[in-house]
Structure 1
Amino acid sequence: MQWQTLDSTPSLLPLYWRAALKRKITGSTLPERGCRCRVHVDPKAVAAYRRVCGFADSPMLPATYPHILAFGLQLQLLTDKAFPFPLLGLVHLNNRIRIHRPLGGVGDVSIGVYAHNLQPHAKGATFDIATVVEDALGLLWEAQSQMLCRGVKLEGQAPNNSVLAPGPLNELTRWKAPTDIGRRYARVSGDYNPIHLSAPTAKLFGFPQAIAHGLWNKARTLAALGEHLPAANIEIDVEFRKPVRLPSEVILRSSAAGSSGEWELKGVGDLQHMVGKWQPIA
């Protein structure tokens, strides 16, 4: 793995321009190169993120917040000339985060991102975006986001990935995903994907309405689970199923609090938007 070390987090606007210009698949192998830099945690930005995602005030960073710190680096990686797939049109299938130590008192951290694990899929190919966050004591937080790129032709059989199937669950709470949540989340995350912003921009990409960001759904769910979850030594997996169209109401059903558990996020007519589980890091 070769690392490109940046002096600061990349500016997003030029990267969005690069993303808009690249519409074709240009290869079928992933570059063995990652991006990394030091990032400062801004308390005001964290507070704005808490408000949008429903997290209570706490000395701990929200479990999903390192994704926000890493977003510019991920965009840099995925819009690089050497990256073979266009960013627009990628589908986020699942996400796993691991919190190794409590996310309290976090100031400056080192963040690295890279892509790996390219595999055939029935609809194209999948790959993982890996994100690693370290502080002065070492590994603090890490994540894997599995992405689908349609239309890629790879040799071999698509693997049978395990599917999360929650057991008996009870309704914990419900909330409304308002029409403007995609724009509000974009302002705190930097993720201005058109499918999330408005019905007209979503229709350009085949969606009848705007849909909520998958990572907003996950963050809002973890905010609602709150005290159910351990603060560290925890792995949190989700599979994104059907998108949450905006506006809509969703229902969170969960197992009891403990070191491990499961949940699902459902919509109207028993539509399953997301399933997830938490457990100690193996």
Structure 2
Amino acid sequence: MQWQTLSSPPFLPPLYWRAALKRKITGTALPEQGVRCRVSVNSWQVAAYRKVCGFADSPVLPATYPHILAFGLQMQLLTDHAFPFPLLGLIHLSNRIRIHRPLGGVSELSIAVHAQNLQPHPKGATFDVVTRVEDSLGLLWEAESRMLCRGVKLDGETAQAVQAAPTQTGEITRWKAPADIGRRYARVSGDYNPIHLSAFTAKLFGFPQAIAHGLWNKARTLAALAEHLPAANIELTVEFQKPVRLPSEVVLLASAAGARGELMLKGAGDIEHMRGKWQPITERH
């Protein structure tokens, strides 16, 4: 892996423009290059994120906040001329984060992002966007987001791991996903994907109305489960099912508090929006 080391986080507007202009698949191999940078944690931005996602005030960063710190680097990676797939139209299938130590007392972090694990899929190809966050003591947090690019032709067998539906779960809480949550989350995350912003912009990409960001759904869920989950040595995996159309109400179901458990986010008519699980990092399945 070759690394491009930036002196400061990327300036986003040119990257949005680059993403808007690239609409075609230009290859079938991932570049052997990652992007890394030192990033400062801004308390005002963290507070704004907490408000949008429902996290209570705490000296510890929200479990999903490193995604926000890494977003510019992810954009830089995915809009680079060497990257073969257009960013607009990618579908976020699943997300896994590992919190190795409590996310407290951090002011500056080293973040590295790369793509790997290109695999054939019945609808195209999948790959993982891998993010690693380190502090002065070493690895602190890491994540893999599995993305689907439709229309890619790869040789090989397609294999899809299907996560079993949670069984021992009960309703924890429910909340409304308001019509403007896509715009509000975009302001704190930098993710201005048109499918999340309004019904008009979503229709340009084939959606009847705007849909909530998958990582907002996950963040809002983890905020609601704050008393349920360990603060560290935890792996949290979710699969995104049917999108949450805006506005709508969702119900969170989860198993009892503990070192491991399962969760599910459902909408009207028992539609499944997201399913997931948590467990200690030391476990491998």
Partner of 1:15: 15
- Please state how far the C-alpha of 1:135 moved relative to its aligned partner: 0.5
Q: For residue 202 of structure 2, what is the amino acid of its counterpart?
A: A
Partner of 2:233: 233
How many residues are aligned here? 282
Residues 143-192 of structure 1 show CA distances to partners (whole Å, capped at 9, x for unaligned) of 00000000000000111324242112110000000000000000000000
Partner of 2:51: 51
Partner of 1:80: 80
Kindly indicate whether the alpha-carbon contact (under 8 Å) linking 2:37 and 2:110 is maintained by their aligned counterparts in 1: yes
Q: How does 1:1-282 map to 2 (within 5 A)?
A: 1-282=1-282
TM-score normalised per structure 1:
0.99
- Please state how far the C-alpha of 1:131 moved relative to its aligned partner: 0.1
Cα distance in 1 for residues equivalent to 2:17 and 2:224: 36
Kindly indicate whether the alpha-carbon contact (under 8 Å) linking 1:164 and 1:239 is maintained by their aligned counterparts in 2: no
Look up the SS of the partner of 1:226 in the other structure: coil
**Cα separation, partners in 2 of 1:164 and 1:237, compared to 1, 3 Å:** farther
Cα distance in 1 for residues equivalent to 2:275 and 2:61: 23
Kindly indicate whether the alpha-carbon contact (under 8 Å) linking 2:121 and 2:160 is maintained by their aligned counterparts in 1: no
- Please state how far the C-alpha of 1:15 moved relative to its aligned partner: 0.1
Extract structure 1 runs of 4+ deviating beyond 4 A.
none
- Please state how far the C-alpha of 1:259 moved relative to its aligned partner: 0.2
TM-score normalised per structure 2:
0.98
Across the aligned residues of Structure 1 and Structure 2, the Cα RMSD in angstroms comes to 0.5
Kindly indicate whether the alpha-carbon contact (under 8 Å) linking 1:164 and 1:276 is maintained by their aligned counterparts in 2: no
Kindly indicate whether the alpha-carbon contact (under 8 Å) linking 2:49 and 2:188 is maintained by their aligned counterparts in 1: yes
Q: Percent identity?
A: 77
List gaps (5 residues or longer) in structure 1. none
List gaps (5 residues or longer) in structure 2. none
Kindly indicate whether the alpha-carbon contact (under 8 Å) linking 2:9 and 2:37 is maintained by their aligned counterparts in 1: yes
